[in-house]
């Protein structure tokens, strides 16, 4: 159905204009439409993934900062965690755009 394709595409492409919030609203409002509900739920978690990873990274850095007395090791840990966070954030962003375009051009 064309309406589902547009809603599904907007759920993923909302990474550009209203990440997390738009897919959450669509997910909450489409409980009677399983296809749109599933796509919005997946888009919501895909948009939320970098935030969850960022919070986990901050917790790890905070805890390690308490127990590490060597600043060099703390610095390397921060660089590695920031690199992982950056890769996941960029991958999530690009995958959201790809999935949104796939829904728009699907037959």
Q: What is the DSSP letter of 18?
A: S
Looking at per-residue pLDDT, the higher value among 66 and 16 belongs to: 16
Residue 98, φ and ψ in degrees, nearest 5: -60, -45
Q: Which residue bears the tokens 């590490």?
A: 68
Mean pLDDT taken over the chain: 91
Looking at residue 107, its pLDDT comes to 64
pLDDT digits (tens, 9 = 90+) for 44-76: 999 999 999 999 999 998 888 778 777 777 888
pLDDT at 94 over 70: yes
Looking at per-residue pLDDT, the higher value among 75 and 22 belongs to: 22
Looking at residue 64, its pLDDT comes to 85
Model confidence, pTM: 0.86
Looking at residue 1, its pLDDT comes to 64
CA–CA dist 22, 96 (Å, integer): 13
């Amino acid at each position: 159905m064309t309406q589902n394709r547009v809603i599904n595409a907007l759920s993923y492409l909302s990474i550009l204009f209203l990440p997390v919030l738009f897919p959450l609203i669509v997910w909450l409002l489409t409980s009677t439409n399983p296809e749109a509900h599933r796509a919005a739920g997946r888009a919501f978690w895909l948009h939320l993934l970098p935030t969850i990873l960022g919070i986990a990274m901050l917790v790890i850095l905070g805890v390690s900062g308490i127990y590490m007395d060597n600043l060099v090791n703390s610095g390397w840990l921060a660089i590695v965690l920031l690199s992982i966070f950056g890769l996941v954030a960029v991958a999530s962003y690009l995958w959201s755009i790809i999935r949104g375009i796939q829904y728009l051009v699907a037959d």
